[in-house]
Structure 1
Amino acid sequence: MTADARRATDHALVVDTANGPVRGIDDGTVKSWKGIRYAAAPVGELRWRAPEAPARWTEPLDATRVGPVCPQPTDPKLPIDLGAPQGDDCLTLNVWAASDVDAGAGKPVMVCVHGGAYILGSSAQPLYHGRALASSGDVVIVTFNYRLGALGFLDLSSFGDQFATNVGIRDVLFALQWVRDNIAAFGGDPDRVTIFGESAGAGIVTTLLASPAAAGLFHAAIAQSSPATSVYDRTRAQRVAEQFLDVLDVRADEAHRLDAVPITAVTAAAQRVFDDVPSTTPGTLAFAPIIDGDLVPAHPVELAREGRTHRVPLIIGTNKHEASLFRWMKSPLMPITPKAIREMFSAIAAEQPGLQLPSEAQIREAYRGKTKIIGMRVARDIGFRMPSIWFAEGHCDVAPVYLYRFDFTTPMLRLLRLGAAHATELPYVWGNLVAGPKDPTFKLGGLKAGKAVSARIRTRWLNFAVDATPTGPQGDPAWPAYRKDDRATLVIDAQDRVVDDLDADVRTAWGDQVLSFR
């Protein structure tokens, strides 16, 4: 390449955003811009406030490396490669587009909300590298960081006006507004945005589907393993906040000084509260979206069942063996033992005395098998499967819904008794199948079949994003939409198949009453 050609290529990779120009890189197949600041660093008095625009810059900033990830606890039982060091200036995003996609190309956009139980993870994780998805040239990919744990999902609003509610949700909305205002310069169409996420990221997706503040910011949605009912009221959230203050030895009338508490102390306290809450109250999370009457006016699943969600097409589903990951990790996040399940049911009954819970006989009828297997299935369904079905049952009245279950696994994952565990679909969605030499997934084979599964699921997700528009086609992932007369469900496996009313027994056992903690 000549010097003039190189200069021309470099210039083409400089994109002027609303906050200032950024310079990316082109590897010959995909262009990328990483670590773009979409909001000011949430430090000092901004730590628990709504995000604010960053200071404008004039010279092109280097956008060839990901930015810092949100400060978070590190769990030796779950050694996640976060992809970058932790740091306060974490509100950044990354953009990928095929090399031949130029400004004004008007390509559909897919915006990912990463998972991690609302306390872990980052957009810099190698798993979320967007090259494979963007290389087709069909879409522009965006990933971003948002505040996690106590920084993003601790409700301190009862201690003073300087604390905003649902700070992590506000970050997500701010990132989506950045996409709306800037993505055309990267070749994307701001009127064809699909938001997609897994686990906590999917919980944010289903929450935003019921949030008035999200209207018009996305035009299709994909929720993979959404804990859609893990949204709590302010009374419960205040109890968690008081517990957090106790751990830090901070009185309620001293909450104003939380801005100055060292970040290491904040994340350590968050870890302790995160561990304690599900141990004392099985089935609940310490950090999650709360009903604040503003961003989240009511329980998202209940709003869906009332026909009050945004009228955008939705793919929603779960994995066949969701709970096995939590058993393998020895995590208290999901109640698996009979004792923990009974405690969870007792707590639900105490908080919602009018709710008709399934009897033990009904559960045993729906979940035939050994006691341990029943516990795993109950945990899977109350945590992920039934919330997704309840949401689908409501949302399908206002927009097309496509329900799936991911069943594919490999010989090694079967040997480890993980199967199609929580999050195991992610490598197939992203096309990043092998996470380094220590990844055991394909050690006993299955890579050829896995590549075929990945190709199919990526095609379905991409087709859905390409077809979904505000006024035209409603997204077509190439399987029948979910309707209450047949409840068509795609089973994703070595060979995909569509099954009518796949969840009939379980749905009958749980009924149509939404189980949630207030």
Structure 2
Amino acid sequence: MMVRILTALLLLYSSLAFASEPKVIVAGEILSGKQVDGSNVSAFLGIPFAAAPVGDLRWQGPQKYQPKHDLRDAAEFAPACMQKQRIVDWYRDLAELFGNPRDVVADLPVSEDCLYLNVWSPAIGSSEKLPVMVYIHGGSNRSGWSWEPNYHGHALAQQGVVVVSIAYRLGDFGFFAHPQLDQGPVVANFGLWDQVAALQWIKDHITAFGGDADRITLFGESSGGGNIVALMFAENTDDLFAQVILQSTAGFGLRNVHSLADERQRGVRFAEALGDEGPLTVAQMRGIPADELLQRADNISRGYYHSPVLDGALLSESVSSKLSSGNFHARSMIIGSNAEEWYAYIAEDADAGSEQDLAEEFFPSHATAALAAVAAEPDIRLRMDRLRTAARMLCPGQYFAQKMSAAGADTWMYSFSRTREGRAGNLWRAYHGVELPYVFGTHDEWMETSETDLQVTAATMSYWLHFAKTGNPNGPTTANWPDYSKPGFSVQEINKPVRTIDAPEPELCRLFRDELRISR
């Protein structure tokens, strides 16, 4: 009796403490969020969508979360999934370039207990059901987190949508296989299965936040978009989302895939590298503390790209194979990339030899022709950027858009070319990820943002929001964006001003399609 009385008193005290905060009830648990300052948006942060994947649940599929509280504080972000500080250092480099101290970007808290999502909604307590935008972050499937500063969803939500950002296991915690992991349907792709679990949670519970479970748009950048491509072609995911926006993605989704046999063999080598006196078993590897496993995995798997695996359960066939056969469910989409994705990462002392190597890497059967296609450009770094951006983003995107459009999906393609003003903008140009603060309306305080940047932001957000709301990016305040199937394969160049152009790099993309046929 005394325990029940104390429990009731504690719950009453907690309820009074959280009385002024927005609340929703999900699966019997009261979530207490917070109001975003100066807006009508409520934020619910750090919501668990699956059980903590720790101990024996390491390298298992996501398990159902069992509510532990009557009232849960959902006003703070949860730690990021296990990773090194690579993207933190990237932000610090960028901040320093724009004249700020490196410590303007804080260290990132990480934990193996990381399967949480965040919701921003302007419709708590409303009978209206708003379209839902679910963001999947990038980071090469080994870095990144759902609440990076540019991913906060309040500005989008203020325009009449519910925004969700999700976490998933990364690196060797999330993309791993081993012969001993052979029980049940989930034997690989743990990070991808996490995304499926998050989407199922959203499908089941988003109405509590004022969202429409039948109008879910996925959007993601880089490997996050690549994971969306995998989910588009995965088994039994058709009802989890309606349409997609793929930002700087296509090459990640088309070609980056591993066989289960190869991934299991890598897992064996991984276990051998961890063991001092022979390979460790999966049970022994599960016993290694997360921080230690992260450190050792970072050394063992350095340079390895953690792609989705053809596991026979979630993924049975490669994306390129399904596109070729026409065996896929066509969805409306926006797809595009940035004008100079890789320029900032090309060495300033690049020479003809490195340019030749790059051409042979990305156009192995047509290296000479690829070099000829960019020869008129006097800046060697721009030539190299054109080769890599075309092969990794632009041309796979055009190929993907053409296949989707031919299958009957409404498809729009963009090229984002806005660069920041001043010396820093000239050094980085329209780099990989530059569009993100323009999409979310979340420009960093330490980055100079001009009136032109704000105008480009308004146009970009309008396109993304109208697509989420209506299935078409065109609205009354933006320049008309023709469907990609229109003659000439029109592309919308997002800058100031916005304009419609023909698909860029026609010769390089012709060579890319030839390479794609040869590699099959």
TM range, smaller chain: 0.7 to 0.9
The separation in 2 between residues aligned to 1:243 and 1:363, in whole angstroms, is: 38
String of CA shifts for 1:86-117, please: whole Å, max 9, x gaps: 1122101111112x553542100000001111
Instruction: Describe the shift of the 1:183–1:159 C-alpha distance in structure 2 as closer, same or farther (beyond 3 A).
Output: closer
The separation in 2 between residues aligned to 1:8 and 1:48, in whole angstroms, is: 39
Which residue of the partner structure matches residue 267 of structure 1? 294
- The alpha carbon displacement at 1:368 in A equals 3.5
AA aligned opposite 1:454: T
1:258 aligns with 2:285: yes
Which residue of the partner structure matches residue 234 of structure 1? 260
Which residue of the partner structure matches residue 166 of structure 2? 144
Structure 2 counterpart of 1:85, from 109, 114, 118: 109
Larger Rg: 2
1:459 aligns with 2:462: yes
Structure 2 counterpart of 1:113, from 113, 136, 141: 136
Which residue of the partner structure matches residue 383 of structure 1? 392
Q: Is the 8 A contact 2:40 2:158 kept in 1?
A: yes
Q: Is the 8 A contact 1:82 1:121 kept in 2?
A: no
Structure 2 counterpart of 1:46, from 43, 57, 80: 57
AA aligned opposite 1:149: G
Q: Is the 8 A contact 2:464 2:473 kept in 1?
A: no
Instruction: Describe the shift of the 1:428–1:517 C-alpha distance in structure 2 as closer, same or farther (beyond 3 A).
Output: farther
Which residue of the partner structure matches residue 94 of structure 1? 118
- The alpha carbon displacement at 1:327 in A equals 2.8
Instruction: Describe the shift of the 1:359–1:142 C-alpha distance in structure 2 as closer, same or farther (beyond 3 A).
Output: same
Which residue of the partner structure matches residue 509 of structure 2? 507
Which residue of the partner structure matches residue 357 of structure 2? 339
The separation in 2 between residues aligned to 1:19 and 1:225, in whole angstroms, is: 39
AA aligned opposite 1:249: G
The separation in 2 between residues aligned to 1:52 and 1:290, in whole angstroms, is: 20
Structure 1 counterpart of 2:422, from 412, 419, 443: 412
Instruction: Describe the shift of the 1:513–1:97 C-alpha distance in structure 2 as closer, same or farther (beyond 3 A).
Output: same
AA aligned opposite 2:40: T
The separation in 1 between residues aligned to 2:330 and 2:468, in whole angstroms, is: 15
Which residue of the partner structure matches residue 402 of structure 1? 412
String of CA shifts for 1:246-277, please: whole Å, max 9, x gaps: 43237556233211112122212332244334
Structure 1 residue runs of 5 or longer lacking an equivalent are 1-5, 278-284, 347-356, 469-473
AA aligned opposite 1:117: S
Instruction: Describe the shift of the 1:37–1:103 C-alpha distance in structure 2 as closer, same or farther (beyond 3 A).
Output: farther
- The alpha carbon displacement at 1:481 in A equals 1.1
1:60 aligns with 2:78: no
Q: Is the 8 A contact 1:244 1:269 kept in 2?
A: no
- The alpha carbon displacement at 1:488 in A equals 1.0
Q: Is the 8 A contact 1:403 1:490 kept in 2?
A: yes
- The alpha carbon displacement at 1:338 in A equals 3.1
The separation in 1 between residues aligned to 2:223 and 2:81, in whole angstroms, is: 15
String of CA shifts for 1:160-206, please: whole Å, max 9, x gaps: 43772111110001000011000001000000000000011111111
Q: Is the 8 A contact 1:202 1:225 kept in 2?
A: yes
TM-score normalised according to structure 1 size: 0.84
Q: Is the 8 A contact 1:336 1:379 kept in 2?
A: no
The separation in 1 between residues aligned to 2:161 and 2:322, in whole angstroms, is: 31
Which residue of the partner structure matches residue 239 of structure 2? 216
Structure 1 counterpart of 2:341, from 305, 312, 322: 322
AA aligned opposite 2:509: R
* Comparing 387-396 and 497-506, the one that deviates more: 497-506
The separation in 2 between residues aligned to 1:90 and 1:517, in whole angstroms, is: 38
AA aligned opposite 1:403: M
The separation in 1 between residues aligned to 2:519 and 2:57, in whole angstroms, is: 30
String of CA shifts for 1:290-347, please: whole Å, max 9, x gaps: 22222122221332343333332110111111112433799xxxx965335535666x
Instruction: Describe the shift of the 1:124–1:366 C-alpha distance in structure 2 as closer, same or farther (beyond 3 A).
Output: same
AA aligned opposite 1:69: A
- The alpha carbon displacement at 1:85 in A equals 1.5
Q: Is the 8 A contact 2:187 2:311 kept in 1?
A: no
AA aligned opposite 2:500: V
Structure 1 counterpart of 2:434, from 402, 424, 441: 424
Instruction: Describe the shift of the 1:414–1:368 C-alpha distance in structure 2 as closer, same or farther (beyond 3 A).
Output: farther
Instruction: Describe the shift of the 1:337–1:49 C-alpha distance in structure 2 as closer, same or farther (beyond 3 A).
Output: farther
Q: Is the 8 A contact 1:109 1:190 kept in 2?
A: yes
Which residue of the partner structure matches residue 10 of structure 2? none
Which residue of the partner structure matches residue 12 of structure 2? none
Q: Is the 8 A contact 1:103 1:184 kept in 2?
A: no
SS at match of 1:422: coil
Instruction: Describe the shift of the 1:306–1:476 C-alpha distance in structure 2 as closer, same or farther (beyond 3 A).
Output: farther
- The alpha carbon displacement at 1:7 in A equals 7.2
* Comparing 109-118 and 409-418, the one that deviates more: 409-418
Q: Is the 8 A contact 2:136 2:165 kept in 1?
A: yes
Instruction: Describe the shift of the 1:264–1:245 C-alpha distance in structure 2 as closer, same or farther (beyond 3 A).
Output: same
SS at match of 1:393: helix
String of CA shifts for 1:429-455, please: whole Å, max 9, x gaps: 01011x233x4xx2xxx6110000000
The separation in 2 between residues aligned to 1:298 and 1:485, in whole angstroms, is: 32
1:165 aligns with 2:165: no
Q: Is the 8 A contact 1:230 1:516 kept in 2?
A: no
The separation in 2 between residues aligned to 1:181 and 1:516, in whole angstroms, is: 44
The separation in 2 between residues aligned to 1:511 and 1:179, in whole angstroms, is: 37
* Comparing 173-182 and 85-94, the one that deviates more: 85-94
Structure 1 counterpart of 2:177, from 141, 155, 163: 155
Q: Is the 8 A contact 2:55 2:287 kept in 1?
A: yes
The separation in 2 between residues aligned to 1:10 and 1:126, in whole angstroms, is: 28
The separation in 1 between residues aligned to 2:369 and 2:518, in whole angstroms, is: 21
1:22 aligns with 2:31: yes
Number of aligned residues? 477
AA aligned opposite 1:449: T
The separation in 2 between residues aligned to 1:221 and 1:396, in whole angstroms, is: 14
- The alpha carbon displacement at 1:26 in A equals 2.0
String of CA shifts for 1:133-175, please: whole Å, max 9, x gaps: 1112x10000111111111112335654377211111000100
Q: How much identity, in percent, do the aligned residues show? A: 28
AA aligned opposite 1:231: V
SS at match of 1:32: strand
SS at match of 2:406: coil
1:245 aligns with 2:267: no
The separation in 1 between residues aligned to 2:332 and 2:299, in whole angstroms, is: 39
The separation in 2 between residues aligned to 1:70 and 1:300, in whole angstroms, is: 27
* Comparing 320-329 and 147-156, the one that deviates more: 320-329
TM-score normalised according to structure 2 size: 0.84
Which residue of the partner structure matches residue 350 of structure 1? none
Which residue of the partner structure matches residue 185 of structure 1? 208
AA aligned opposite 2:345: F
AA aligned opposite 2:369: A
- The alpha carbon displacement at 1:486 in A equals 2.1
Structure 1 counterpart of 2:328, from 309, 318, 328: 309
Structure 2 counterpart of 1:483, from 479, 485, 491: 485
Which residue of the partner structure matches residue 248 of structure 2? 225
The separation in 2 between residues aligned to 1:309 and 1:19, in whole angstroms, is: 38
